[in-house]
Structures are given as C-alpha cells and as structure tokens.
Amino acid sequence: MGRHVRSPYENYILLSERCKYLAGTYPGFVRLKEIVGILTRMTSKHSNTYTYNGEMYVSKLTPNEISKIQNSLETGTYSSDIDKLRYICIDTGVRSF
C-alpha cells in the first residue's frame, strides 16, 4: 500500500496547531494561499515589496526566511520561521490566515 501524501490543506491544519497566526479554518487557508503567492513573487523578483488588497507594503522578511516559511508550509513541519508570518499580519492588519 502506498504512503499517503498530505494535501496543502492538511499541512496547513497541522501547522495551525502550533502557530497562532494560522487560524486552522478553510477561509484562513484561502487567505494564506494568497499570501504564499505574494511571497513567491517577492522571491522571484528579489524584492521586499508586495501588494495586498490594493495596498503596497514593504516586508521585513528576507528571501531566506520566505524560503523557510514556504518549506514549512509545503511539508507541514513546524519551524519557528512560520511564526514570522506575524510580520505580514502586522503589515496588512489581518489577525490570522
């Protein structure tokens, strides 16, 4: 029998148990997917600015930190780097994703 591969939503739920910035709800997961897209564009452009809901922000996250956040989200493995999502929460005024 094959090994179960977790979905991105399952990884999100696992991480939400340890990170207070992840709400653990499907609407939160959808918002987080938007943010992940923004983080991906930031790293591909080597930029620290991003737009969310029409507002432009300057991120405190480095490309290395973004990479570690993305890795945690992809694997569902908690690391303290996932807590750095707080910078985006502070910038955008969103309490959790």
What pLDDT, in 10s, does the model give residues 1-42?
578 889 999 999 999 999 988 999 999 999 999 888 888 988
Model pTM greater than 0.75? Answer: yes
Q: Where are the domains of the chain?
A: 8-91
Question: In angstroms, rounded to a whole number, what is the distance separating the alpha carbons of residues 25 and 96?
Answer: 10
**Amino acid letter, residue 59:** S
Buried b (16+ CB within 10 A) or exposed e, 34-51: ebbebbeebeeeeeeebe
